[in-house]
Amino acid sequence: VLINTDEYTMFDLRSLDEDGAILEGPLFLEIGEILEIRVDKGDESIQLTARVHEVAEDKATMTVRFTERDPRLAEFVKAE
């Protein structure tokens, strides 16, 4: 998972569904912060806008909820 347009991975994707994702990594944002993420899966990628919904107490993970729905998201989530 990439944040903004930088070309390096900042988070590991732990879970992805049509509503949001669970991310793990060294940098945690504040609840309510908006971020752009790019999820790469095989040869496919999708750019999504998300808002930080929750940060785990141990700061191992944070949950984001998508603020805009890409029409390709449902198929992207289902693809192996």
pLDDT at residue 70, as a whole number: 80
- pLDDT tens string 28-59: 788 999 988 888 888 888 888 999 999 998 77
The order of strands in the sheet holding 12-16 is 2-3, 34-41, 44-55, 62-66, 20-24, 12-16
Per-residue pLDDT at 6 exceeds 70:
no
CA distances 79 to 11, 34, 41, 44, 55, Å, are 21, 26, 9, 10, 27
pLDDT at residue 3, as a whole number: 46
Where does residue 64 rank: exposed (0-12), middle (13-18), buried (19+ CB within 10 A)?
Answer: buried
pLDDT at residue 29, as a whole number: 84
Higher pLDDT, 40 or 65: 65
Output the pTM of the full model. 0.82
